Structure 1
Amino acid sequence: MALSAFAFPSYIIAKGVLTDSCKQTSLSSSRSLATDLPSPCRRPNNSHSNRKVKVNASLVEKGEYYSNRPPTPLLDTINYPIHMKNLSIKELKQLSDELRSDVIFNVSKTGGHLGSSLGVVELTVALHYIFNTPQDKILWDVGHQSYPHKILTGRRGKMPTMRQTNGLSGFTKRGESEHDCFGTGHSSTTISAGLGMAVGRDLKGKSNNVVAVIGDGAMTAGQAYEAMNNAGYLDSDMIVILNDNKQVSLPTATLDGPSPPVGALSSALSRLQSNPALRELREVAKGVTKQIGGPMHQLAAKVDEYARGMISGTGSTLFEELGLYYIGPVDGHNIDDMVAILKEVKSARTTGPVLIHVVTEKGRGYPYAERADDKYHGVVKFDPATGKQFKSSNKTQSYTTYFAEALVAEAEVDKDVVAIHAAMGGGTGLNLFQRRFPTRCFDVGIAEQHAVTFAAGLACEGLKPFCAIYSSFMQRAYDQVVHDVDLQKLPVRFAMDRAGLVGADGPTHCGAFDVTFMACLPNMIVMAPSDEAELFHMVATASAIDDRPSCFRYPRGNGIGVALPPGNKGIPLEVGKGRILKEGERVALLGYGSAVQSCLGAAVMLQERGLNITVADARFCKPLDRALIRSLAKSHEVLITVEEGSIGGFGSHVVQFLALDGLLDGKLKWRPMVLPDRYIDHGSPADQMAEAGLMPSHIAATALNLIGAPWEALALPHDIILKIGSYLEVTDLCALSSCSRFWRELCGSDILWEPLFKERWPLLSTFDGDNTLFPDAQTDETSQEWRRVYVMQHMEMASRASEVIAFVTEWPAALSLEASEYLHAVETMSSMRLGFQDVEMFLFKPNLSVLLNLVGLIYCIKHLKPREQVLDGMRRRGVSEQLVWVKWLTLGRWSRGRRMRDETVSRQVSLADVVTGKEETVLRVLQRGVVHEVLRVCISTVDLVCTPCTSSTIRNY
């Protein structure tokens, strides 16, 4: 079905979801919250359609990102859940429609998890309508369905940063918002965490509600049932919402096909089950029959079971046996039912856990996602009108696909090869294997523990199981790896996808620890390919190892483009043997896995500067190629091990061998380069590698430092220099805690501080040999001086900026400035020679008066950067949507001997509007100020203005 253009959310209209009420541009102003609520919590009044609402200014980002954004008049009035409380059911439906269109719009721009978020829109609206976060706790299992939750809890303005460096996480994250009470990313954890919160609440005498939303396959993991079993035993008040979107084995998704609850009967029965009177009656009956005891109690329990079965169907039996009061199934897209049921459950006086079985449709409201929910579970950027995703133009395939092709090639010639995955057929590439060998591929659900022991059982029967699991998910099954596989030396092959940094998915999915926890096992063979051809060979190697377990890791992303083995059939490698890729002298780089490519890049950089080094590919972490390591150690001054993994990994095994072999007793300098000992947040792969200090330039710089070569021989990439500069505070200390050794050494080098100085103050950066910048240094001894000079200049500029801040804030009318005063401040900044980064750092601060933000803006446009860079700087600092009143009085002109009436203009604008030219008239007025003989201007904060401006308010100055 072809959809119309994206000027209006026609992709919603096509499904009949968007009602006529959604097109309304004004809301009734008759509703209001209780007057005793603090003003920031009051729902914004949108009755004045010609005036911007201050509380929503941060939601209306300007620029290309928001072109063709669908209209959302009701959603625009919602900053936090408190603003929803007085909405009617009809308006909640409208809000759901607008929220769904906003999710589609934002994900189309950033990529992310689309289908799951679209499926819980009505559920999210109902939850935030009934419950009061952050006092009440709502936990989202897995967390990838939390986009509607983020939009309704104050983060709508930051949705353009989703899954990007320094932006919003793609999952719930405690440090991101107080409304995210528990961080997620892996599945099946929220019932356990919610139960802990409920018990903790009871022990502290609190009375808040705890709601755990679980689904999307998470109910296939054992932890969910362990938690429900314990919840039934502890009998603490909590609500479990089972979001059944046909990815779990429940009565609504039987082998005969899904049976969604539709019609009046299902709705009526669900409401009956949630009725407090019915629950209270059951509790009283239970208490009475327990006192009677014996056969009467058993008979009553059987009658209750039959009665419950009559109104609940077979789905309730399991949960009731675990001790949870079951309600459902409920149509998760019916706002009327969801609100009524949640209200009843919240107000019930009975105790104990309740499970509400909610049936939803993944991708609801977006036809393309509904028809192919597997392809729209996680998406890259796409065109909302056509559903077409903008795929990468890489000529190579992903490592995931190469692994699947290699395994298919092995299975073609060996009928004993079988494959296991944990509900990740697409993510691991094994869907390709499934299509070719449907009886030899096993999807065990999100059950990594079971997957590993299941594979162990297959190995006992002489099969060759390949267990493909993400590196980060392998953590969930570690005891099974140790006890059920390694201890028994069973030949299970572990293919660990997404090893190392994973970009936008962030720390929850980062595969940092697998080398450490796998290589410490006595019987495990541990290897990692440096490119896609090596991956084919290691699949063949694992298939040939039949006397012990083995594992290999490979990264997220695409191959580098090397030639593949003929017929995709790898050749088994000699176990425990590495290879030399480049012969050199003095320095040897020993890379492991994907880090080998960074080592080769560093070698090229050093070769260009006259230093020829050795690069080796270890291939195996266990067993190590001892002969190779011994040779490198004896023939080089420096040995650097490089890996995209945590401390305790490949480098630790190498140094233990070097120490035991006495190779560290001489002049050898050994250094490990690993991921820093902290979690690296989501961002682009390049940003993450830069933050970790594992780029080729970092490796090259480390090598130069160890042999005593000047760091200036290696220029740090300009974008990295500026990124470091953005973290510098007044004391010049780096805001990145727990830095890697590389960063700590770099912070004292001129390779960082000289480019930073010259970028920030180009007019002050000339060095003509008379040591103007280094008065205390000898001409040939300026090393380490740039840092000191940078700090001195930074402090000087901070002092100058403080003078401007004091001038503005100490003005008698601190909330208002006359034109002569702000223009004076602008010219003062010019005479001080403040640079753009000075303005951004000292004046573009949200906690400063918007008048100071505006003074900095006018100065930058007039004397420094192009408008685009000024806007970027304001957005980085979070001031682009600050609002300011600009009032000017144009004196009436003379006509036929009489002066015409003075014209007064008053306008509220955002700073971004001024920069982008949307308010070009205002900008011209601000720049001309009192210079023009017939113009009088005054600027003020929005809070100052309560009534329309008149000429008398600005005439007398």
Structure 2
Amino acid sequence: MKNNLLQNINSPSDLRLIDEAQLPEVARELRNFIIDIIAVKEGHLGASLGVVELTIALHYVFDTPNDLLVWDVGHQAYGHKILTGRRDDFHTNRQLGGISGFPKRDESIYDTFGVGHSSTSISAALGMAIASNLKGDFEKQHIAVIGDASIASGMAFEGLNHAGVTDANLLVILNDNAIGIDPSVGALKKYLTAVKEGKNPRQNNMIKSLNFDYSGPIDGHDIFAVIKELKRLQKIKGPKFLHVITTKGKGLKQAEEDQVKYHAPGKFDASTGEIYIKAEENLPPKYQDVFGLTVLDLARKNEKIIGITPAMPSGSSLNFMMKEFPKRAFDVGIAEQHAVTLAAGMATQGMIVYCNIYSTFLQRAYDQVIHDVALQNLPVIFCLDRAGLVGEDGATHHGVFDIAYLRCIPNMIIYAPRNEIELQNILYTAQLGLKHPIAIRYPRGRGVIPDWQKNYQGIYQAIEIGKSDCLKQGSKIAILSNGTICNNVTLAIAKTKNPEQLAHYDFPFVKPLDENQLHSIFKKFKTIITIEDGTVIGGFGSAILEFASTNHYSSQITTLGIPDEFIQHGNVAELQQYCKIDVKSLEILFSNF
């Protein structure tokens, strides 16, 4: 059946012209449209399928964009995008030059707040509501849609705590499906489950105790019930809270049954839901699996080893350790600040803590890194997955700032391996008794050694802290690389006309720098090029420039990396090309010196 209703909806005003009785058909068409596109183009599937009815109801009842709708994280906003004028462009979702996979203010007036990280919606919508009051606009509605995994974050409770003592016209909608990317965890999850099962009497409702007008739980897939309740709440002033029960992946049987896998399943058959399996034989390992399997192997030999991740057990591969050592590996939910200070507390008691947080999410716990870890010089091992350019998730998820924001912190060691073997070795070295905290950054995706697990797992070599390596001798130009971008440099050098002129040094330690090696390099070479997959401002190249200035060297230094802008979405190869750190761009640059 064709999308006869959906094809005529170019804005929420078009949606509001449809008879309410026809909205279930709109939901069916919208759900099928999302499935058909994501099956081919990839993206976040399950979350958006779960809120189809809620999305339609929100735009049907409220006068968006005059009423302000804020989506938390944004994984669930595909239906919102399609109903707000981006249906015909939806096939470009997350592609270079196409629409963003997340709400984005400069993309649409319906995207009231840019998101990508969790738990910001309540604070943002409350800020909008207070601003409306100050401007004398007391009729405007402000709606925050937040999931049960996101609401467990401290920032969400900070927003609730403030909102409860205001007269702000704020509606918080809890989209409760018991899962984020991985299943929700913690006492709040158990409380919400009890509420859904009718085991908590209303008078003990914690949300009501925060001075919110609480209603629910209601079936989020009963569009008529949702519309009825939204219309009722529309007339109530002050802070309100609606508890909605949904099923992540609703409408696609496989997505409902395996919600973790179908969060972002890749390409799949739209009619059967079957995921197209990529051939993985003889491929190098994923860096996250190198981390997960190595830490598990180390934990088997050392009972003091602890693993911590904030809501990313499958994404970080800490789930390997969680399965075998459930009492020593912890998913603490979307709570990066708590994860860091929890690790610090454990470290005071002599535990060896691997705290695995995506690079972009460690930004959320910056004070804890400084105040609770580095200031006390506690040897927490930060494992920063998804460092560098991550691809289609775009500006909110690129891990390009970590070198710059960590390098200025006293006591902090910063290391970026050039391949999976070096990652394994630094993970081993970190548990041998380091006296300082260390940040180990590594990228999303695969390494370069196909037989890693067969030949290397369990065979460790300690790494000398602060040591660099000369990978290739040269006569004219010294190229200094940090991290896995080293492999681009190696390939580019091999393609140049005069490779014998190019020396290549791997500097895995950004802090401490190998100053002995640097003195030798600056005394020998008048032309030096640095390259990294982090921001050039404050990053590895900046460290080399500082060294040269401090030591009064006059060599010509060119720094390559991520420019001073927020890099948008596209695949990693396209984004490296944009930043001129891909193999071809480097080959051209090296040949022109």
2:253 is aligned, of 358, 362, 367, to 367
| Superposition deviation, residue 662 in structure 1 | 2.3
- Checking the alignment, whether the CA contact within 8 Å between 2:388 and 2:534 is kept in structure 1 is yes
TM-superposition CA deviations, 1:783-807 (whole Å, max 9, x none):
xxxxxxxxxxxxxxxxxxxxxxxxx
| Superposition deviation, residue 126 in structure 1 | 0.5
TM-superposition CA deviations, 1:616-639 (whole Å, max 9, x none):
110101110111111122222311
Please give the alpha-carbon distance, in whole angstroms, between the structure 1 residues aligned to 2:463 and 2:327: 29
Matched, 1:183 2:114: yes
- Cα 1:678–1:189 change in 2 (3 A) is same
Please give the alpha-carbon distance, in whole angstroms, between the structure 2 residues aligned to 1:575 and 1:119: 48
Counterpart in 2 of 1:300? Answer: none
Counterpart in 1 of 2:534? Answer: 645
Matched, 1:101 2:37: no
| Superposition deviation, residue 462 in structure 1 | 0.7
Counterpart in 1 of 2:465? Answer: 575
> Which amino acid in structure 2 is aligned with residue 181 of structure 1?
T
- Checking the alignment, whether the CA contact within 8 Å between 1:519 and 1:649 is kept in structure 2 is yes
- Checking the alignment, whether the CA contact within 8 Å between 2:356 and 2:385 is kept in structure 1 is yes
What's the secondary structure of 2:116's corresponding residue? coil
Please give the alpha-carbon distance, in whole angstroms, between the structure 2 residues aligned to 1:598 and 1:419: 32
For residues 574-653 of structure 1, the aligned pairs below 5 Å read 574-606=464-496, 608-609=497-498, 611-646=500-535, 647-653=537-543
TM-superposition CA deviations, 1:540-591 (whole Å, max 9, x none):
1222243211111001111112653633343220000011111111011110
1:200 is aligned, of 123, 127, 131, to 131
> Which amino acid in structure 2 is aligned with residue 439 of structure 1?
K
- Checking the alignment, whether the CA contact within 8 Å between 2:48 and 2:249 is kept in structure 1 is yes
Counterpart in 1 of 2:7? Answer: 76
Counterpart in 2 of 1:162? Answer: 93
- Checking the alignment, whether the CA contact within 8 Å between 1:603 and 1:612 is kept in structure 2 is no
Please give the alpha-carbon distance, in whole angstroms, between the structure 2 residues aligned to 1:397 and 1:528: 17
For residues 216-255 of structure 1, the aligned pairs below 5 Å read 216-247=148-179, 248=184, 254=190
Counterpart in 2 of 1:378? Answer: 264
TM-superposition CA deviations, 1:855-902 (whole Å, max 9, x none):
xxxxxxxxxxxxxxxxxxxxxxxxxxxxxxxxxxxxxxxxxxxxxxxx
Matched, 1:657 2:588: no
- Checking the alignment, whether the CA contact within 8 Å between 2:360 and 2:399 is kept in structure 1 is yes
> Which amino acid in structure 1 is aligned with residue 533 of structure 2?
E
- The alignment of Structure 1 onto Structure 2 pairs a total of residues equal to 582
TM-superposition CA deviations, 1:27-59 (whole Å, max 9, x none):
xxxxxxxxxxxxxxxxxxxxxxxxxxxxxxxxx
- Cα 1:393–1:633 change in 2 (3 A) is farther
Matched, 1:132 2:63: yes
> Which amino acid in structure 2 is aligned with residue 681 of structure 1?
Q
> Which amino acid in structure 2 is aligned with residue 679 of structure 1?
F
Please give the alpha-carbon distance, in whole angstroms, between the structure 1 residues aligned to 2:550 and 2:48: 54
Counterpart in 2 of 1:698? Answer: 585
Q: Which runs of 5+ in 2 are unaligned?
A: none
| Superposition deviation, residue 696 in structure 1 | 2.5
- Checking the alignment, whether the CA contact within 8 Å between 1:119 and 1:363 is kept in structure 2 is yes
| Superposition deviation, residue 700 in structure 1 | 3.4
Aligned CA RMSD, in angstroms, stands at: 1.9
Please give the alpha-carbon distance, in whole angstroms, between the structure 2 residues aligned to 1:696 and 1:435: 40
Q: State which structure, 1 or 2, has the greater radius of gyration over its C-alpha atoms.
A: 1
> Which amino acid in structure 1 is aligned with residue 505 of structure 2?
A
> Which amino acid in structure 2 is aligned with residue 366 of structure 1?
L
Matched, 1:215 2:147: yes
What's the secondary structure of 1:330's corresponding residue? strand
- Cα 1:487–1:224 change in 2 (3 A) is same
Please give the alpha-carbon distance, in whole angstroms, between the structure 2 residues aligned to 1:539 and 1:648: 25
What's the secondary structure of 1:518's corresponding residue? helix
For residues 553-564 of structure 1, the aligned pairs below 5 Å read 553-561=441-449, 564=452
Please give the alpha-carbon distance, in whole angstroms, between the structure 2 residues aligned to 1:451 and 1:544: 22
Counterpart in 2 of 1:672? Answer: 559
Please give the alpha-carbon distance, in whole angstroms, between the structure 2 residues aligned to 1:696 and 1:158: 31
Q: TM-score, normalised by structure 1?
A: 0.59
Counterpart in 2 of 1:39? Answer: none
- Checking the alignment, whether the CA contact within 8 Å between 2:284 and 2:451 is kept in structure 1 is no
- Checking the alignment, whether the CA contact within 8 Å between 1:89 and 1:335 is kept in structure 2 is no
Counterpart in 2 of 1:486? Answer: 374
TM-superposition CA deviations, 1:259-283 (whole Å, max 9, x none):
757xxxx9xxxxxxxxxxxxxxxxx
What's the secondary structure of 1:640's corresponding residue? strand
What's the secondary structure of 1:698's corresponding residue? helix
Counterpart in 2 of 1:387? Answer: 273
1:144 is aligned, of 63, 69, 75, to 75
Please give the alpha-carbon distance, in whole angstroms, between the structure 2 residues aligned to 1:553 and 1:250: 28
| Superposition deviation, residue 176 in structure 1 | 0.9
| Superposition deviation, residue 336 in structure 1 | 1.4
> Which amino acid in structure 2 is aligned with residue 254 of structure 1?
K
> Which amino acid in structure 1 is aligned with residue 164 of structure 2?
G
Counterpart in 1 of 2:54? Answer: 123
TM-superposition CA deviations, 1:892-926 (whole Å, max 9, x none):
xxxxxxxxxxxxxxxxxxxxxxxxxxxxxxxxxxx
What's the secondary structure of 1:196's corresponding residue? helix
Counterpart in 2 of 1:321? Answer: 209
Please give the alpha-carbon distance, in whole angstroms, between the structure 2 residues aligned to 1:249 and 1:695: 40
Q: Which runs of 5+ in 1 are unaligned?
A: 1-22, 24-70, 267-308, 708-957
- Checking the alignment, whether the CA contact within 8 Å between 2:528 and 2:557 is kept in structure 1 is yes
Please give the alpha-carbon distance, in whole angstroms, between the structure 2 residues aligned to 1:336 and 1:258: 25
Please give the alpha-carbon distance, in whole angstroms, between the structure 2 residues aligned to 1:100 and 1:83: 18
- Checking the alignment, whether the CA contact within 8 Å between 1:398 and 1:559 is kept in structure 2 is yes
For residues 389-468 of structure 1, the aligned pairs below 5 Å read 389-394=275-280, 395-468=283-356
Q: TM-score, normalised by structure 2?
A: 0.95
What's the secondary structure of 2:242's corresponding residue? strand
